[in-house]
Amino acid sequence: MTAPPSAPCVGSGSPAFHRRAGELWCEGVPVRELARRHGTPLYVYSAAVLRERYLALRSAFGAGAHICYAVKANPNLTLLARLHALGAGFDLVSGGELMRLQAAGLPTRGAVFAGVGKEPWEIAAAVAAGILFFNVESPHELPLLAEAAAAAGRSVRVALRLNPGVDAGGHRYIRTAGGDTKFGIGLAAAGGVVEAIAGTPGLELCGYHVHLGSQVQSAEPYRLALDRVLEFVDGAAVRGDGVTHYDLGGGFAIGYGRGPALDVAAVAAGVLPALAARGWRAVLEPGRYLVGDAGILLTAVLGEKQQDHTTFLLVDAAMNDLLRPALYQAEHPIVPVVEGATGERLVDVVGPVCETGDFLGRQRPLPPCRRGDLLAVLAAGAYGASMASNYNSRRRPAEVLVDGDTAQLVRRREASRQLFADEVDLDEV
């Protein structure tokens, strides 16, 4: 039987999510079928979007760039393996993320390790595993890194994370490059840290790192940050000695239903000529750009409630499954899985968690829904499952990866017993 013709799913950010006869499909699979098989809430990812986005970055930045996927955006082992197969290295921020690579049998030699408070065991584990370099964010790390280098009997490569004071916009919780954030080292203090690195046996300065924040909407802040870094480097010979890499971080914005993703070719055009002039290799740390539009969250309607002037549509996904609306006032498009009902009205889409902040979307135009009807929260592949929690003793959702006509369960829904499996036995209290 031939499938009905395909139409775009507005707001999804990719043709991989599309409609056939009004029904939402992910690649060659109707998502209603996945919800029937695996239940809801359910994350559904598209392998085609991962490929499309990875290749867009590769074509913009060229074969010489090193693309390190920011594992924090979505650490699912299968997605990590898929991105490795495409050629990605990894941007890590914890020992747990390093262990994920190891659990997936993936090489660590292409990984970079950032984080403002790395613990000694995490540094030791990364030195033992062998990574590309550490992104140093604070002078207190230097003796810890030097100790790990001495214990391992080899030197450790470090890139200094600079905070060039470039305002890249976005919600204040996801800005990382201003003077009032804990990240990186301001340019005024960084010269002393470079000298300290140069004077510490076992440490090799191999580059500089800047991460401006997330959802950066234009290429300009990347160019401006590099200009400031280059000016800093030119301030003293020691600052350029041995430098081979410039890590421009991640932060490439996606549209969330309000436009296209950031033009990464413009970012590349803004930084590559200056890097080529110095013979430095570009390192990128995209998270959201690679996986954000690759995922949706399916949720089923539980009921509806009218309260004063607000209609609340109660659904079975909540802030524990997708925290971004509550944490950052993020707005994800929310659409019916099966289109067709008429009579749209504005509703607040809320979950069962006992918090007023537990909402997936406010004042959204949706048609009348019945119990069991499915909604899709779009562009939910980044910082969705990775921020899921057990709040209200709810089980974290299942995750499915679609590739063409094939769907694979890549994370089972948590079992209820897992909610308390690690708590002490009541007899022992």
Ligand X SMILES: Cc1ncc(COP(=O)(O)O)c(C=O)c1O
Give the active site residues. 354
Q: Which residues fall within 8 angstroms of residue 297, CB to CB, at 6 or more apart?
A: 41, 42, 43, 44, 317, 321, 322, 376, 377, 380, 384, 397
Q: Is 214 in the site for ligand X (CB under 6 A)?
A: yes
Site stretch for ligand X (CB under 6 A), options 34-42, 58-66, 245-253, 392-400: 245-253
Q: Smallest distance from the beta carbon of 345 to ligand X, in angstroms?
A: 34
Site stretch for ligand X (CB under 6 A), options 97-105, 198-206, 250-258, 295-303: 250-258
Q: Smallest distance from the beta carbon of 202 to ligand X, in angstroms?
A: 24
The dihedral over CA atoms of 29, 33, 35, 38, expressed in degrees to the nearest 10, equals: -100
Q: What is the DSSP string of 296-334?
A: EEEEEEEEEEEETTEEEEEES--TTT--HHHHH-----E
Q: Smallest distance from the beta carbon of 296 to ligand X, in angstroms?
A: 17
Site stretch for ligand X (CB under 6 A), options 96-104, 228-236, 257-265, 280-288: 280-288
Q: Which helix (H) or strand (E) holds 96?
A: helix 95-103
Q: Which is nearer to ligand X, 294 or 382 (CB)?
A: 382
Query: In terms of Cα–Cα distance, which of 374, 310, 291 is closest to 338?
Result: 374
| CA distances for 139 relative to 142, 145, 160, 189, angstroms | 6, 10, 10, 10
Q: Smallest distance from the beta carbon of 161 to ligand X, in angstroms?
A: 8
Cα 195 from Cα 208, distance rounded (Å): 14
Which one of residues 289, 322, 335, 377 is an interface residue with ligand X (CB under 6 A)?
A: 289
Q: Which residues fall within 8 angstroms of residue 323, CB to CB, at 6 or more apart?
A: 383, 387, 388, 389
Q: Is 73 in the site for ligand X (CB under 6 A)?
A: yes
Site stretch for ligand X (CB under 6 A), options 12-20, 244-252, 272-280, 405-413: 244-252
First CA to last CA across the chain, in angstroms? 62
Residues 145 and 98 sit within 8 Å (Cβ to Cβ): no
Which one of residues 11, 251, 255, 270 is an interface residue with ligand X (CB under 6 A)?
A: 251
Q: Is 286 in the site for ligand X (CB under 6 A)?
A: yes
- DSSP reduced 3-state for 208: strand
Q: Which is nearer to ligand X, 35 or 112 (CB)?
A: 112
DSSP 45: E
115 φ/ψ angles, rounded to the nearest 5 degrees = 130, 135
Q: Is 400 in the site for ligand X (CB under 6 A)?
A: no
Q: Smallest distance from the beta carbon of 371 to ligand X, in angstroms?
A: 36
Q: Is 114 in the site for ligand X (CB under 6 A)?
A: yes
Q: What is the DSSP string of 59-79?
A: HHH-TTSEEEEEGGG---HHH
Q: Is 252 in the site for ligand X (CB under 6 A)?
A: yes
Q: Smallest distance from the beta carbon of 403 to ligand X, in angstroms?
A: 22
Q: Which is nearer to ligand X, 166 or 407 (CB)?
A: 166
Residues 366-385 within binding reach of ligand X (CB under 6 A): 382
Q: Smallest distance from the beta carbon of 306 to ligand X, in angstroms?
A: 38
Q: Which is nearer to ligand X, 264 or 272 (CB)?
A: 264
Q: Is 246 in the site for ligand X (CB under 6 A)?
A: no
Which one of residues 27, 91, 358, 399 is an interface residue with ligand X (CB under 6 A)?
A: 91
| Contacts with ligand X, residue ranges (CB under 6 A) | 70, 72-73, 91, 114, 211, 214, 249-252, 285-289, 382
